[in-house]
Chains A and B, each alone.
Chain A
Amino acid sequence: MSGQRIIEVSNLHFTYPDGHEAVKGISFTIYQGESVGIVGANGSGKSTLLSLITGVIFPDKGEVKVGDVAVTKKTLATVRQKLGMVFQDSDDQLFMTTVYDDVAFGPRNYKLDENEVKARVEEALDMVGIPHLIDRAPYKLSGGEKRAAAIASVLSMKPDVLIMDEPTSGLDPKSRRRFINVLKGFSHTKIITSHDLDMVMETCNRVIILKEGKAAADGTTLEILTNGELLDDCGLEVPLSMQKCPVCGTCKQGL
């Protein structure tokens, strides 16, 4: 794989205080410009893995490196500036009184001057296509608009890597399509966890499957998401767009 190493996860282990062993020895490396889909059944360790990468929790064993920096309590501030995490529930991420203040929250924490903050907020809102919502209250937005605002709130920090937890959950078909198009336009390195395998198909060039806290497979999207047996074994199924047409029984052309 070409490009600079952006995230390196080596032999990661994590057990929750209640004894549940959520991550059991996961290792992978993500390179600059890659879009990686992390998929797996419920409880396979996806969310725990994201928490470990972003330093919300720390591994019992193993290490996460962002660039050349290991994620530890001391390096959190540096590491988090490089990672933009979009939460599954946008309401968790939007807590200020206006969209502007929410998107400005990150840049202000890094003590940028107010003109730069303003420029970044406007740029981020433009990127996700909601510049007109700048002065609205976040709780008054629709689900799709909230998701866009949540993404803008991390884009404004100009992260190297965008990390998204179930980004299309709860979106209506049009909002989902709009979101996919926006995502395709980003040149960031991306890590996306999702059950929406069709979205992963469209937006990611690499897929890692998790099964019971371990990486069950790691390869190109086409290779992994067409392997029905593997997917079935991991509690998933072939993306709808790859399945045969229910009317005529043939596969889509071009796939």
Chain B
Amino acid sequence: MSKIVESMYSIRMLDDLARKDTAIHKIHPAAKLLTTIAYLITVVSFGRYEISGLLPFVLYPMVIILLAELPAAQIFKRLLIIEPLIIGIGILNPLFDPRGWISFASIMIKSGLTVTACLILVSTTGLDKIAQALRTLRVPGVFVLQLILTFRYISLLTEELARMLRAYVMRAPLRKGVRLKDCGSFVGQLLLRTSDRAQRVYDSMKLRGFDGEYHSNGESRIAWRDVLFLISWSLFFIIARIHDIPAFLGLLLERVIG
């Protein structure tokens, strides 16, 4: 029960963070989205045994978290949630591949970096504005709408689930969870209740002139600052991809000491 309520708050936390007003939050959503995409592509493009080259990419999330005043602990907590999944994917590598531990580490680092980048994007931009950015980039409205409504449906689902669980627990105080026997009708009820509720929300949208196109916060213009943000980070990603910066720094240090 409390876990459900907790996850409800954690979804809303991303929305709350997105409403902050830092230099990073002010950057145009499209610039942030493109920068994130560039980041994801370069990180993923590293070979399975290249680890040292990935290290400079820690800089991007670190800088953004600091500048956007995001609670680093909360972001990393969310990152940990998906780690078991990643471990599941990579754990067999050391068994079949003599250099498996390296490729396993590379998977862990890559997933950590990419998921953090996405969490940062959502918590500095907000899903509404990401949707707006996607529309600016000419992504078809239907897909964008799906994304937005799915995101909204999650909170609706958790709210309804929390309500039903409360009613259940109050009448079954000795049980820890929902009995397997009751699960079928429980899940069925949840589906019916949330779809009813979603229908009402949709009605209220239609009654206010909703025609399938999602208009959020007006159309803000892209400024030089936004272009600079995109170009400078992209340049950094490209340089870090082509040159092995940690190896170069190591070499430099060796010479200085030598």
In contact, B208 and A157 (Cβ under 8 angstroms): yes
Q: Once the chains bind, are A83 and B215 in contact (CB under 8 Å)?
A: no
Closest to A135 in B: B19
Which of A51, A77, A135 makes the CB contact (< 8 A) with B211? A77
Which of B200, B206, B215, B219 has the most A CB atoms < 10 Å from its CB?
B215
Question: Mask for A72-101, Cβ within 8 A of B = 1, else 0?
Answer: 000011001101010101011101111001
Q: Does B15 contact A (CB under 8 A)?
A: yes
Asked whether, in the complex, the Cβ of B216 is within 8 Å of the Cβ of A92, the reply is: no
Complex Cα distance A167/B125, Å? 35
A92-B204 contact in complex given A97-B15, A101-B128, A137-B15, C-beta closer than 8 Å: yes
Complex CA–CA separation, A156 to B139 (angstroms): 30
Residue tally, chain A, CB below 8 Å to B: 33
Report B-chain residues with C-beta under 8 Å of the C-beta of A85.
204, 207
User: B4-45 vs A: 1/0 string, CB under 8 Å?
Assistant: 000000001001101100000000000000000000000000
Q: Which residues of B contact A91 (CB under 8 A)?
A: 159
A132 to B203 Cα, complex, angstroms:
28
Given the known inter-chain contacts A101-B128, A105-B208, A154-B208, please indicate yes or no for A56 contacting B203, CB distance below 8 A: yes
Of all chain A residues, the one with the shortest Cβ separation from B149 is A95
Q: Say whether B126 faces chain A, with CB atoms less than 8 Å apart.
A: yes
Known: A135-B19, A137-B12. A93 touches B204 (CB 8 A): yes
Q: Is the interface of A mostly helix, strand, loop or mixed?
A: helix
Complex: A95 Cα to B213 Cα, angstroms = 16
User: Chain A residue with minimal CB distance to B207?
Assistant: A85
Closest-CB distance, A55 to chain B (whole angstroms): 8
A250 within 8 A of B: no
Asked whether, in the complex, the Cβ of B208 is within 8 Å of the Cβ of A106, the reply is: yes
Q: Across the interface, which residues of B come within 8 angstroms of A89, CB to CB?
A: 200
User: If the complex has contacts A87-B200, A93-B204, are A108 and B215 also in contact, measured as CB distance less than 8 A?
Assistant: yes
What's the minimum C-beta distance from A15 to chain B, rounded to whole angstroms? 19
A96 to B151, CA, bound (A): 11
Contacts of A135 in B (CB 8 A): 19
CB nearest neighbor in B for A98 = B19
For window 193-225 of B, CB contacts with A under 8 Å fall at 197, 200-201, 203-211, 213, 215-219
B152 lies within 8 A of chain A by Cβ:
yes
Closest to B217 in A: A101
Q: How far is the CA of A93 from the CA of B18 in the complex (A)?
A: 22
Partner of A110, one of B200, B207, B209: B209
The reply to whether the CB of A172 lies closer than 8 angstroms to some CB of chain B is: no
- For residues 169 through 198 of chain B, which have their beta carbon under 8 Å from a beta carbon of chain A? 197
Q: How far is the CB of B6 from chain A (nearest CB, A)?
A: 15
> Are A96 and B128 also in contact (CB < 8 A) when A101-B216, A108-B215, A111-B215 are?
yes
Asked whether, in the complex, the Cβ of A97 is within 8 Å of the Cβ of B126, the reply is yes
CB atoms of A109 and B203 under 8 A apart: no
Report Cα–Cα, A185/B15, bound state, in Å. 35
- The verdict on A97 contacting B19 (CB below 8 Å), with A87-B200, A92-B201, A117-B218 known, is yes
User: A101-B128, A137-B12 known; 9 other A-B pairs, CB under 8 Å?
Assistant: A81-B209, A106-B208, A108-B218, A109-B209, A114-B218, A117-B218, A135-B19, A154-B208, A157-B208
Residues of B within 8 A of A (CB): 12, 15-16, 18-19, 126, 128, 152, 159, 197, 200-201, 203-211, 213, 215-219
